[in-house]
Structure 1
Amino acid sequence: MNTFGVSDLLAAMVRLEQTGYRFYTELVARAEDEEEKKFFAHLAEEELRHEKIYSELAEQYKSVEPENKLDEPYGEYLDVLINQSFAFTEEDLKDRASAWKIAVGLEKDTLLFIGEVELLIDTNDREIFETIKEEERGHLKALVAYRDARKF
């Protein structure tokens, strides 16, 4: 049985934020105008900021033993979440609509991970996750507004 501790989930979130940063940075390079560059550059900066927060928390929880061993189905669920969230291909970047779907998926996956981590962390650290959840929801709203403004 896989045992996932808080630090494992936080390390996965660090990887997810790194993926988001690479993705948004690639979109900056492919942007068709200055407004688009600024939009994706902002999202890339947010990913870096979140990565730092998760890295610090992962270090803090590194020596904490998991209170509960996760059962196999739950561990498999986390494996699926982790493995499907960290890759994007040239095909994903072929046009704005494809890139938008990946961006929305990254933000949604982050929200899923936050929900999983919140179940396992000390209540003292939950406030930071509430803040980040609000930011991720804001990213989703911004992505929808971006799509609607660009009409694709």
Structure 2
Amino acid sequence: MKRLFNTNFNNETVHGMLLFLRIGIAALMLTHGIPKLQGLLAGGEIKFGDPIGIGVEPSLYLTIFAEVGCSVLLILGLCTRLAIIPLIITMLVAAFIVHAQDDFGTKEMAFHYLLVFVFLLFSGPGKYSFDSLIGRSSGQSSGRRRRSSRR
């Protein structure tokens, strides 16, 4: 029973779950973005809304950028916090503008994505990411410079 209610964190498990969450949520977001990208590449008539008044095409391009491009960056854990910002904006527009008049059940998916993206914005990508590799390599090289300059 004591183990069931244990609240101690194992760092490796947390980093593993951040990896799982990043890949899972980004893969699910790709299921929304890839059909839009395919429709755009097919060259047919663009049928998309203009929720924030910048035009149909720019709205579609920005949505594809967020849902496909930023999702790929999120999977890799590369520029994670910067990549999450367009995803958060996209979900805010979806929840509060595109589906403003809809019932909560329709908005709910956008809120689910939004919650996870905000969590990842604050938590970061975790140890198993390119961001972590880049951070470690730059931290080690600056550490060497500091040590050698003290002598």
- Give the TM-score taking structure 1 as reference length: 0.39
**Larger-Rg structure:** 2
Between 1 and 2, higher relative CO (CA 8 Å, sep ≥ 6) is seen in 1
More helix as a share of residues: 1
